[in-house]
Amino acid sequence: EAPVPAESFAASYSRFAVAADHPAASAAGAEILAAGGNAADAAAATMLALGVASPASSGLGGGGFLLYYKASDRTFTFLDFREAAPAAATPDMFVDRPAPMPGRANAASQVGGLASGIPGEPAGIEAMVQRFGSGMPLSRIVQPAVKLAQDGVPVSGAVARMSSYFGDQMRADATMRRWFEGEGPLREGQLLRQPELARTLRELGARGARAIYTGRIAREIVRANRAAGGLFTMEDLAGYRVVEREPLRAERFGHTWVTAPPPSAGGFTLMQSLAVLESLPGRWRPTARGERPGAAFLHALAESWKGPYLDRERYFGDPDHVRLPLEAMLAPSRIAARAAAFHPGLANPPEDYDFPLQAAANTGPGEENGTSHLCVVDAEGNVAAVTTTVNLPFGARYTAAGIVMNDEMDDFAREV
C-alpha cells in the first residue's frame, strides 16, 4: 500500500531553523542552536538524532554529503563522507553469489556483511564540527541523541512501515530483534530504546571519530561485519578519510545555484532540471515566491527530471575512478532537445528525453533508498545542508555496537 503524501507547508522563524524528517531530530538541532551552537553544530546533532529516530534511513553506520555556506566570508564548501569500499572488495564479488537470506532486497549486495562499505558519517560529523563549528564540544552535541537512544523515541509511521517489509531479516540480528514487541512489525508510536547505541554515542562524544574507527567499537564493527560474511579489516576503518570537493554552480532564473557535485547525482539532476525549465515558456516556470506551485509547473518539473535520471543510471560513478561527461550531459543543444520534447498535456515516457552520449555504462535503475536530508540555518546566516543514508531501509539489516550498518556496496554492484 502506497503511503499518503505528507502535506507540505512553509514557515518563517526569527532566529534559526532546522528542517529534518523526524520532529525529534529537528528538536535536537534546535536545542543545540538555543545553547549557543551554530549551523554546523546543530546539523551534527540533527544527524545523530536522525540515526536514533529513523534508523531505517541514516545513522553512524552510513555516510553522506555536506554543503556548507559560511556567512562571514560567503564561501561554500562541500564535504564527501560517503561510504568507501573495503580494500579486499573486487569488481566481481557479487557475480553468481547466492542471496544470503530470503525476503525483499535480499541480494548479497543488499543484505549481510558483504553489502557494507566503510561508514563515513562519524568522520563527516567530526570534520563538520572541527571545521565550521562554534567550539561547542562534541560531548555536548551528542547529548540529545544519547537521550533519545537511552530513554526511547516513538517509532514513526515511515519506520513502522519499512519494518513490515524487512522485519524477518531484521529479526536475524540480535539487537534489532529486541526492537520488536511481538510477531508483527514495529508499531507506530511504540517507544524504541537503543542502549547499545547510546553507549556508542557517548564514546563518540568523549573521543571523537577515532572512537568508531579504532579501538573497541572498531573491533566490534569488524567482528560483526565478518560474521555476516563481510571483508572489513581494522586497517579499512583506520584509513577512512573525508574528501572535499568543488560544489557545482550555475546561473538560472536570475539566481546563483550552488549544489552537490559528483559522486552525488542529486546536484547534477537539479542543474539539468533548472536548465530545461528555464528553456520552457513562462507558464511552465516556477511560481512567484510565496505562491503555491500550480499544476502546470509541477507537470513541467516532473518531466524535467526524466532525462537526468536516465543519465544518472547510465553515466554516473565515483569521480575519483570514473571520468564523468558532465559538460556533454549539460550541453546547451542537449538541454534544448529535452525542452523541445516536453509536451504540455502529456506525461511522456522517459525514452522521449533520452539523448545518449557516445560512451555509456548502463547500470540499470536502483531501488528506492532509505535516505534522509536535513537543513539548518543559524542566526548568523550560516547554512548546513546534509544528505545522509544507510542506502536501502535498515541498511544491510545487521548492527555493530548498536549501529545499523549500511548496504552501500549495492551501488558498486554490476548486477542486482
371 catalytic, yes or no?
A: yes
Judge whether 371 and 196 are in contact, CB under 8 Å: no
Catalytic residue among 175, 259, 363, 371: 371
Q: How many alpha carbons fall within 13 Å on the CB side of residue 332?
A: 0
Catalytic residue numbers?
371
